[in-house]
Chains A and B, each alone.
Chain A
Amino acid sequence: MTGLERRYHRLMFAYPAGYRRGHATEMVTTLLEMADDGQTRPTRGDAWDLLVSGVRQRFRLPSGRPLLYVVAVLVTLIGGGFGAAAGSWAATSTMADLPSQAGIESLTRQIAGDGSDFHTSRISTPWTVTFADAGIDAGAAWTPDAARRTLSADGWELGSIQPRSGVTSTWDPVTGAQISQELRGSSFEATRDGLTMDVTAYVSGEHGQILLTASPLDNGTLLPLVIAGAMLGLLGGWLLVAAGGYRLRSSSRPRLASALTALAVVALAVPAFAFWVNVWRVAGTSDDPIYTVHSALSPDLYWSYGWPWMLVELSVAGLLLAVGAWFALRGRSVPSPAQLPA
């Protein structure tokens, strides 16, 4: 094999593997016949033409199959949804971890100046990062100033104090009459090491209660990675259908492959739709706790008419069906023209 022939074969890698198997040898023959005497390298024009034509071939869908265009659009959107979810997951994995339960308790007691009846829970939703809620009873003498001093000393950056007020009702234990009591309250935000805390306290009569919500802060990676993941997913979805479309032509089980593909698309369309709704939330708001895309796969109900784990189950089922469809697309062995006698 001459150097020129080897270089032409190298350029053929721009084309998809199936196309190379069928056409590379023939195309290189033509290129060599078109080459000038003594030429040792492909011309810049030929190299560019092969690269562009190869990439275009990767995106081409087989002619005469209009339904394939519908499948391509659906799979492209599904790929984009899952890509956005992957980007969202990657972004949140770079964010600060929530403190442990003991850590949350320690923070809450520090803010309350000890307190009693501590309770906490971690809350995961199908739309947001997981965050922690905590509450503790404190005395009526609690004020935010002491809490803010200790937090500041520990390196927390503090937002301004926002007054809170309201009215609460209780029952007189002797007369049984309803008594209204004025609530005095305040709230402030504290941030440190990629975490944010909303501290809210209410005091009425002899009783005070402090509520705390802790969640990771967006470190600026979420939206870029969601967009990048969506773009890669969209691209991958189209390329997958383009490759599958050509495999379908030589598949020994085209009906099975088509049926499995249709089922996979139906199963994956539901979680993909949820992912795209979450993308819209991520793009449209910056509220705490931060919205994410992949959280649609949390075990909680995404829609009230679904069931817990529904989107996870559909994703797994859809991916298994898609893998099955890909194997069913494996074709009959086509004789390769690569090795011919001299």
Chain B
Amino acid sequence: MQEPTFLILASVADQPLHGYAIVRAVAELSGGDVKLRAGTLYGALERLAEQGLIEVDREEAVDGRLRRYYRITSSGARSLETEIARLRRNASAAESRLRLSFGGGAA
């Protein structure tokens, strides 16, 4: 799973969000490192929806403009858990090796 996809999935893990809210959530989750543009965001949302990892929660009209809210599916939650476990495992392995080399200086 690519980082933007992981962050988008994580951003809708606790509540349904619309496009702009996802962009802000992803920036917050990544500490400002990942700033999604709209084309990239909706390309990822399309793929995630096709894979059944997210789905449309509801649509709203704000000032005559459409806002569509996305929520994570149970399949998406499982994928996210798997990815979190994988990243955690990799991070732990990397940290262990670093400690072996530098005697615990990287805690």
A contact residues vs B (CB 8 Å cutoff): 19, 23, 25-34, 45-46, 49-50, 52-54, 56-57, 62-64, 337, 340-342
Count of CB-CB pairs between chains A and B under 8 Å: 73
Bound state CA distance, A29 and B47, in angstroms?
A: 20
Interface string of B13-25 (1 = CB under 8 A from A): 0000011100100
With contacts A30-B41, A64-B51, A337-B66 taken as known, whether A342 is within 8 angstroms of B20 at the C-beta atoms is: no
Closest to A63 in B: B50
Are A341 and B39 in contact, with the CB atoms below 8 A? no
Bound CA–CA A19/B66 (angstroms)? 15
**B18-A30 in contact (CB<8A):** yes
Say yes or no: B47 contacts A30, CB within 8 Å: no
Q: For the complex, is B68 an interface residue (Cβ under 8 Å from A)?
A: yes
List residues of chain A with CB within 8 A of the CB of B38: 27, 30-31, 34, 46, 49-50
Among B3-11, B55-63, B72-80, B82-90, which stretch is in contact with chain A?
A: B55-63
Expressed in whole angstroms, the Cα–Cα distance for A11 and B62 within the complex equals: 22
The docked-state distance in angstroms from the alpha carbon of A45 to that of B35 is 12
Residues in B whose Cβ lies below 8 Å from that of A53:
39-40, 42-43
B51 touches A340 (CB 8 A): no
Can you report 22 A-B residue pairs in the complex whose CB atoms are below 8 A from each other? Answer: A26-B42, A26-B66, A27-B38, A28-B65, A29-B62, A29-B67, A30-B19, A30-B20, A30-B23, A30-B42, A34-B38, A46-B37, A49-B37, A53-B40, A53-B43, A54-B39, A57-B46, A337-B59, A340-B65, A341-B61, A342-B63, A342-B64
Known A29-B19, A53-B42, A63-B50; judge A341-B37 contact (CB<8 A).
no
Q: Given A27, A63, A340, which contacts B19 in the complex, CB threshold below 8 Å?
A: A27
Q: Which 5 A-B pairs have the closest CB atoms?
A: A53-B39, A30-B19, A342-B64, A340-B61, A33-B20
Binding site for A on B (CB under 8 A): 18-20, 23, 37-43, 46-47, 50-51, 59, 61-68
Q: Is the CB of B39 within 8 A of A49?
A: yes
Give Cα distance in the complex from A25 to B38, angstroms.
12
Among B19, B61, B63, B65, find the residue whose CB has the most chain A CB atoms closer than 10 A. B65
Q: How far is the CA of A134 from the CA of B98 in the complex (A)?
A: 87
| Residues of chain A with a CB closer than 8 A to B66's CB | 25-26, 29, 337, 340
Closest chain-B Cβ to A87's Cβ sits at a distance in Å of 34
Distance (whole angstroms) from the CB of A53 to the closest CB of chain B = 3
In the complex, residue of chain B having the shortest beta-carbon distance to the beta carbon of A43: B37
Is A25 a contact partner of B39 (Cβ separation < 8 A)?
A: no
- In the complex the two chains form, what is the Cα distance from A46 to B42 in whole Å? 13
Chain B nearest CB from A249 CB (Å) reads 9
Residues of chain A lying within 8 A (CB to CB) of residue B67: 26, 29
Shortest C-beta distance, A223 to chain B (Å), equals 38
A45 touches B39 (CB 8 A): no
Shortest C-beta distance, B11 to chain A (Å), equals 14
